[in-house]
């Protein structure tokens, strides 16, 4: 998500004002719903060195996270846990609008920077763990690539008989180069990626970003706090719809088993990697049911309506980024932005 331009910001401010005056009607009745599940990834202070937006857009500062908490607090929202949501849905007593905070993948900054704030404001939250993170098997190539491009003006490598000699000096050029190599990695079949990584990175460069993920000890400690739910997010963070039935079973079952054995607690919640409607289907939902999972979240950008609660294994979620102002959050609550994003589909 790019920073909103001046004109766009003005439009957002005006429409938020208008909706507040009219009480959010008519949108909020249809698209506003009864609450929101918010999605965050990393929570990090402003960096002291340049960053590439392609990765940084998934991060918020601790100050920003606290602003979002305070925003909902002032509105009188109920801060709900995923367990709480399931309970309320079962009993049908959803009186106050609610908000749920979730963090994806399992980064250490969730403990260092988000946790103290969530504790301070007594806000329950969930962290969805990709178990290859604490098992230190994940390849966080997108961070390795950012580091490599920021620290080198010239990148030379050979892959599949082709020699690449690429240069990028300015931040803008580096952003473009990141996109170019990102595309090459994404379009390389999974079984060939290891060779590409070998050509691009030293083993040290490739494993360095793993310093930024939660360890099993840290996850276990977090799980002992009642505010925290540890959910599953598969073993290796692949698009489940692209895998065989057997592989999907393993990705889901094994990630749940691993988290349960490390924390000693039942895993009741799940988030689909990527999370768009193309990334999962009835097959995945059935496997979650077999595992007694109570809720599963997607990245479909909608508010939670009573209707959505009848499908607790495919709940929509709103991604939160630094470029979102209070006015943007207003427009999300009223359902205007979700309506536009989903082209009017409820």
Q: Which residues touch 68 (CB under 8 Å, ≥6 apart)?
A: 38, 60, 320, 329
Instruction: Using the structure block, give the residue that is written with the tokens 């489940």.
Output: 240
Binding positions for Zn ion, 66-85, rule CB under 5 A:
none
Q: Which is nearer to Zn ion, 38 or 177 (CB)?
A: 38
The nearest distance, CB 19 to Zn ion, in angstroms, is: 32
Smallest distance from the beta carbon of 96 to Zn ion, in angstroms? 29
CA distance 236 to 313: 20
Distance CA(244)–CA(142), nearest Å, equals 25
Taking the C-alpha atoms of residue 257 and residue 252, their distance in angstroms, rounded to an integer, is 9
Per CB under 5 A, contacts with Zn ion among 253-292 are none
Give the angle subtended at the CA of 254 by the CAs of 111 and 87, to the nearest 5°.
Answer: 65
User: Could you identify the residue written with the tokens 């889901």?
Assistant: 252
The nearer residue to Zn ion, 81 or 236, going by C-beta atoms, is: 236
Beta bridge partners of 162: 159
Shortest distance (Å) from residue 276 CB to Zn ion: 12
d(CA 60, CA 21): 30
CA distance 90 to 94: 10
Instruction: Classify 314 as helix, strand or coil.
Output: coil
Least separation in angstroms between residue 279's CB and Zn ion is 10
Distance of alpha carbon 271 from alpha carbon 215, whole angstroms: 19
**Residue (78 or 254) nearer to Zn ion, CB:** 254
Q: Which is nearer to Zn ion, 105 or 284 (CB)?
A: 105
Task: Tell me how far, at minimum, the Cβ of 17 lies from Zn ion, in Å.
Answer: 35
The residue to which tokens 């996850």 are assigned: 219
User: Closer CB to Zn ion, residue 104 or residue 109?
Assistant: 104
CB of 108 to Zn ion, least distance (A): 15
Residue closer to Zn ion, measured from CB, 65 or 94:
65
Q: Which among 210, 208, 37, 222 is positioned nearest to 114, based on CA atoms?
A: 222
User: Is 237 or 302 the residue whose CB approaches Zn ion more closely?
Assistant: 237
Residue 146 in contact with Zn ion, rule: CB under 5 A: no
Contact assessment for residue 263 and residue 220, using Cβ atoms and an 8 Å cutoff? yes
Looking at residues 24 to 43 of the shown chain, list those that interact with Zn ion (rule: CB under 5 A). Answer: none
Say if residues 10 and 330 touch (Cβ distance below 8 Å). Answer: no
Residues 109-138 that bind Zn ion (CB under 5 A): none
Q: How many residues bind Zn ion (CB under 5 A)?
A: 2
Rg (CA), the chain: 21
Between 104 and 330, CB nearer to Zn ion: 104
Residue 58 CB, shortest distance to Zn ion, in Å, is 9
* Cβ 249 to Zn ion shortest distance, Å: 19
Q: Are 311 and 293 in contact (CB under 8 A)?
A: no
* Position of minimal CB gap to Zn ion: 104
The pattern of x and - marking residues 93 through 112 that bind Zn ion according to CB under 5 A reads: -----------xx-------
Which residues form the interface with Zn ion (CB under 5 A)?
Answer: 104-105
């Amino acid at each position: 998500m790019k920073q909103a331009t001046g004109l766009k910001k003005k439009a957002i401010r005006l429409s938020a004002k208008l909706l507040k005056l009219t009480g959010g009607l008519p949108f909020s009745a249809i698209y506003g719903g009864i609450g929101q599940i918010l999605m965050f990834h990393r929570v990090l202070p402003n960096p002291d060195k340049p960053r590439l937006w392609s990765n940084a857009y998934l991060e918020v500062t601790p100050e920003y996270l606290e602003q979002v908490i305070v925003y909902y607090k002032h509105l009188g929202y109920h801060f709900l846990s995923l367990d709480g949501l399931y309970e309320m849905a079962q009993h049908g007593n959803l009186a106050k609008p609610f908000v749920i905070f979730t963090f994806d993948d399992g980064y250490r900054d969730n403990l260092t920077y988000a946790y103290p704030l969530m504790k301070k404001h007594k806000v329950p939250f969930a962290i969805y763990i990709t178990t290859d993170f604490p098992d230190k098997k994940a390849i966080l190539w997108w961070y390795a690539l950012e580091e490599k491009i920021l620290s080198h003006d010239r990148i030379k490598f050979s892959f599949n008989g082709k020699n690449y000699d690429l240069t990028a000096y300015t931040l803008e050029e580096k952003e473009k180069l990141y996109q170019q190599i990102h595309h090459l990695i994404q379009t390389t079949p999974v079984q060939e990626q290891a060779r590409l990584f070998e050509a691009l990175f030293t083993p040290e460069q490739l494993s360095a970003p793993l310093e930024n993920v939660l360890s099993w000890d840290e996850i276990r400690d977090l799980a002992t706090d009642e505010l925290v739910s540890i959910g599953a997010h598969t073993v290796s963070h692949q698009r489940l719809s692209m895998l065989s039935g057997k592989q999907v079973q393993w990705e889901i079952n094994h990630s749940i088993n691993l988290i349960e054995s490390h924390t000693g607690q039942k895993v009741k919640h799940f988030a689909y990697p990527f999370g768009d409607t193309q990334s999962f289907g009835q097959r995945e939902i059935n496997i979650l049911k077999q595992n007694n999972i109570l809720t599963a979240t997607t990245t479909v950008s909608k508010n939670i309506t009573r209707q959505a609660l009848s499908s607790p294994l495919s709940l929509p979620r709103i991604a939160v980024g630094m470029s979102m102002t209070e006015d943007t959050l207003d427009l999300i609550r009223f359902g205007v932005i979700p309506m536009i994003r989903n082209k009017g589909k409820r």
